[in-house]
Chains A and B, each alone.
Chain A
Amino acid sequence: MPQPITTLKGFGVTFKQIFKKPLTQQYPEYRRPIYPRFRGRHRLHLHENGLEKCVGCSLCAAACPADCIRVVPAENTADNRVSPGERYARIYEINMSRCIFCGYCELACPFDAITLGNEFEISEYNRDDQIYTKDMLLAEPIKKVPVADRTLYDTPIPFYESNS
């Protein structure tokens, strides 16, 4: 049955909304702080003495369901010592256009050398630019992403941040 009175009430409801402030977040100007455990683009980490944590074991590549990690290891020598282990990653590449940001590489890594960072604005004009090399993954990220205060959330501190 048609209900004219309630329909007219509905007109009042929509009219009232005009005077309220829109809820839209204006994205490029306002960046909403991301969740502390957000999985963004990867980072490779260094020890305090400057050596790379990665030992080139390729466990991350094996764990990767999207098959987007390529590791080519090489032997550490006395005059070219890159990592504390026997070998190091001569080539370490992640294809960001294939990565699904599942975090399995992070879980698989025995030395917590690779973690997922906060950056999510990784669009490029060129497909080749989506392949991140070891230098890019080791460097500090250029874009700073606001992260929400961890104390606001009931979330555990990851192992690699509490023990390193």
Chain B
Amino acid sequence: MTEPWWIAIIEALVIVNLVMVAFAYLTWLERKALGRMQLRYGPNRAGPFGLLQPIADLIKLVRKEAFSPSHAIEPVYIIAPIVSMFTALAAFSVIPFGPGWKIDHWHVNGAVANVSIGLVLIFALGSLGIYGFIIGGWASESKFSILGTMRTCAQLVSYEVSLALSVLGVVILGRSLNLSDIVHRQGEFLPFAAPQFVGMVVFFLAGLAETSRVPFDLPEAEQELVAGYHTEYSGMRWGLFQTSEYINLITLSGLMVTLFFAGWHGPWHLGPLWFVLKLLVLLLVFIWVRATVPRLRYDQLMRFGWKVLLPVATINAVVTALCVVAF
């Protein structure tokens, strides 16, 4: 069943704004949780429990001068953060958050775009998002930005291989590339985290690297470098890069919930609430990892990606395929 186009537009508008709010409060949650794990309070000045901190940050970023280097290639330099922001937001559109509803004889989908190749679309948009980082660092005309770009791209490209391969087992078991179908199948069967445990671990680790979160946060390495590809960005342009990174994290967590933890399925038919709950727990795990694990060295990062994750993901996919064929 299809929904009328205007419902899709309203749904897209609501979801985009919800994702932005989720991003804002993810930064708050991260700073708060990280603070408590390091015996600090985290933000607690702006509003009760520092709840207005993301809004204060936004106002500060928007009002800040958007400085650009004198040699920067101006149009590309400005487009780069927009590209990465756009791809980050667009990727979330295929993630299903509910079973779909019937409101007054109109059908409302459980995802903004119920695409039959949703999984491929997410990976395609993720690869496009890397262009934002490439052209952003390149157009800054600064050697540090270019070095940061190279670090970022080398990492993202090499971990994308393992990320895509780790999902293959789920696709074989789910017999579909449509994320809603995969969720439905997990509802009938059981969450794919159980039969695809290895795939889940590989997906989680590759996802950490893909969103440049802490053990793999070499693109930023805030204690060692000024920044990576966004060294020459300031104000809201920098904010867009940061936003896209966090939204990528939300999308990836959403994808992991969808693929391995049965999405919105759960006891008592809570629907989207289950999705949000699982997403929240997963994001807290990401924050927990950040509080615990030290950063890898660059050669360790490459070795781990190519020599550990990639073979494990490949073997997992092959073994899953063999099992499905055999039984």
Contacts and interface: CB of A to CB of B under 8 A. Distances in A.
Interface of A: 7, 10-11, 13-15, 17-18, 20-24, 26
Given A7-B293, A10-B293, A24 B288 contact: no
Given A7-B293, A18-B36, 18 more contacts: A10-B292, A11-B288, A11-B289, A13-B292, A14-B288, A14-B292, A15-B37, A17-B36, A17-B38, A17-B39, A18-B33, A18-B37, A20-B39, A22-B36, A23-B39, A23-B40, A24-B40, A24-B41
Contacts of B121: none
Contact of B37 (A7, A17, A23, A24): A17
Interface in B260-301: 288-289, 291-293
Interface of B: 33, 35-41, 288-289, 291-293
A32 to B, nearest CB: 16
Nearest to B290: A14
Contacts of A23: 39-40
Nearest to A28: B45
Contacts of A20: 39
A26 B292 CA distance: 25
A50 to B, nearest CB: 46
B281 to A, nearest CB: 14
Given A11-B292, A14-B292, A22 B37 contact: no
B291 A14 contact: yes
Contacts of B289: 11
For the complex of A and B, 10 pairs with smallest distance between CB atoms = A14-B292, A14-B291, A23-B39, A14-B37, A18-B36, A17-B37, A22-B41, A22-B39, A10-B292, A24-B41
Contacts of A11: 288-289, 292
Nearest to A7: B293
Contacts of B33: 18
A127 to B, nearest CB: 23
A108 B159 CA distance: 67
A11 B38 CA distance: 13
A17 B33 CA distance: 10
A26 B291 CA distance: 22
Contacts of A10: 292-293
B288 A22 contact: no
A21 B40 CA distance: 8
Contacts of B40: 22-24
B40 to A, nearest CB: 5
Contacts of B292: 7, 10-11, 13-14
B35 A22 contact: yes
26 contacts: A7-B293, A10-B292, A10-B293, A11-B288, A11-B289, A13-B292, A14-B37, A14-B288, A14-B291, A15-B37, A17-B36, A17-B38, A17-B39, A18-B33, A18-B36, A20-B39, A22-B35, A22-B36, A22-B39, A22-B40, A22-B41, A23-B39, A23-B40, A24-B39, A24-B40, A24-B41
B140 to A, nearest CB: 35
A20 B39 CA distance: 7
Which one of A11, A14, A15, A20 has the greatest number of beta carbons of chain B within 10 Å? A14
B290 to A, nearest CB: 10
